């Protein structure tokens, strides 16, 4: 019996963030279900799934970047410019099938290319990630508006909309499953592969990792390419889902992905966190924002609530580190 208790205590100590955030998420869900009976309906759960899927996909890439001690502020703008290019190619193609294939290919390639450029500037030229991705955010958003002249591109066709409209069963769309599979793949990559081990090592101590013979330049760039690819994928899914593209697509997503990762327990300093905690952070964010909306809270207060949660989580992390330091 004592051995079981000891094992449980050790499991909690090693996964304190996961347990804490999971408990907070469950309690918030229960509270909102009591306060607003409409919250826990099947229809609203489907709404939450739809709302968080895009952020969930982007949060995977953001988590990879943050594990190395970096940050990607360009995610929303990459979604915007890649989706605009997709729509432009699709509308200009005389054949629907060719247009869809070429459009999605261009969308994914754009994400990868911008992510690669971010990675090169950060890893080879050693420019701070905040500066690089902030600049890229502005460049991509400007390109976004210039390509479409600031106007939405509509009527992308029923065939294209069908891609995201596929339901595996009632209310559960195909891209929900894709999101889950991406999280599983990301988790396995971080926990079972050389890439994952090196990303954690760089986040913990980049100098020691370089001295150990790891190609730090390469592995610092990889997360930005992954993030860019996922931005392109998200842009394709959003474009298909709505059958139209707006130049504001992805606006504010950089803050949402950062919030999901930080709330979930990914350290801003790098080297700490898992995809599991990111998933919990995404769910927490989805429930919080949807719950506040259902209750009737103003969107302005919703943003303040999200910002407050981020600050509280970071403060808790800092105080926790200080406590451990004093204990040692």
How many helices and strands, by DSSP H and E, does the chain display?
14, 2
Q: How far, in Å, are 56, 158, 168, 237 from residue 172 at the CA level?
A: 16, 19, 6, 15
So what's the pLDDT on residue 308?
Answer: 86
Q: Which of 242, 202, 237 is nearest to 219 (CA)?
A: 202
So what's the pLDDT on residue 22?
Answer: 85
As a whole number of angstroms, the distance between CA 253 and CA 201 comes to: 27
So what's the pLDDT on residue 304?
Answer: 87
Residues of the chain with pLDDT under 50: none
As a whole number of angstroms, the distance between CA 264 and CA 258 comes to: 10
Q: Residue 41: left if φ>0, alpha if ψ -120 to 50, beta else—which one?
A: beta
Q: Which of 24, 9, 12 is nearest to 264 (CA)?
A: 24
Q: Which two tokens stand for residue 289?
A: 């924002």
The answer, as to whether pTM is greater than 0.75, is yes
As a whole number of angstroms, the distance between CA 153 and CA 91 comes to: 9
Q: Which two tokens stand for residue 214?
A: 């790891």
Reduce the secondary structure of 99-153 to three states and give it as a string.
HHHHHHHHHHHHHHHHHHHHHHHHHCCCCCHHHHHHHHHHHHHHHHHHHHCCCCE
So what's the pLDDT on residue 186?
Answer: 97
Average predicted confidence (pLDDT) for the chain: 90
As a whole number of angstroms, the distance between CA 5 and CA 7 comes to: 5
Q: pLDDT tens for residues 316-328?
A: 777 766 655 555 5
As a whole number of angstroms, the distance between CA 291 and CA 300 comes to: 14
As a whole number of angstroms, the distance between CA 180 and CA 178 comes to: 5
Task: Return the ∠ at Cα 252 (arms to 184 and 195), rounded to 5°.
Answer: 30
So what's the pLDDT on residue 11?
Answer: 54
As a whole number of angstroms, the distance between CA 258 and CA 313 comes to: 12
So what's the pLDDT on residue 7?
Answer: 55
> Based on the number of CB atoms within 10 Å of its own CB, is 243 exposed (0-12), middle (13-18) or buried (19 or more)?
middle
């Amino acid at each position: 019996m004592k051995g079981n208790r000891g094992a449980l205590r050790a499991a909690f100590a090693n996964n304190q963030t996961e347990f804490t955030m999971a408990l907070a998420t469950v309690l918030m869900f229960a509270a909102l279900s009591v306060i607003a009976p409409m919250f826990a309906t099947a229809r609203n759960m489907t709404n939450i799934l739809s709302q968080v899927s895009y952020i969930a996909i982007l949060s995977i890439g953001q988590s990879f970047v943050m594990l190395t001690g970096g940050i990607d502020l360009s995610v929303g703008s990459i979604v915007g410019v890649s989706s605009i290019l997709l729509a432009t190619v699709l509308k200009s193609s005389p054949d629907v099938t060719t247009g869809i294939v070429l459009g999605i290919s261009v969308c994914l390639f754009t994400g990868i290319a911008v992510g690669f450029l971010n990675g090169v500037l950060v890893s080879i030229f050693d420019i701070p990630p905040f500066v690089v991705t902030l600049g890229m955010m502005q460049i991509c958003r400007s390109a976004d508006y210039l390509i479409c002249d600031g106007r939405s591109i509509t009527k992308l066709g029923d065939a294209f909309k069908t891609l995201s409209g596929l339901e595996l069963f009632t209310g559960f769309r195909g891209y929900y499953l894709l999101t889950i599979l991406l999280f599983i793949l990301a988790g396995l990559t971080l926990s079972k592969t050389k890439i994952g081990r090196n990303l954690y090592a760089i986040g913990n101590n980049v100098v020691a990792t370089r001295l150990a013979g790891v190609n730090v330049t390469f592995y610092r760039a990889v997360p930005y390419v992954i993030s860019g690819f996922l931005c392109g994928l998200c842009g394709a899914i959003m474009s298909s889902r709505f059958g139209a593209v707006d130049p504001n697509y992805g606006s504010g997503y950089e803050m949402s992905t950062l919030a999901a990762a930080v709330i979930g327990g990914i350290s801003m300093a790098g080297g700490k966190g898992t995809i599991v905690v990111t998933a919990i952070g995404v769910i927490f964010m989805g429930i919080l924002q949807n719950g506040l909306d259902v209750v009737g809270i103003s969107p302005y207060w919703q943003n303040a609530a999200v910002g407050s949660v981020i600050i509280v989580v970071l403060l808790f992390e800092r105080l926790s580190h200080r406590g451990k330091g004093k204990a040692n």
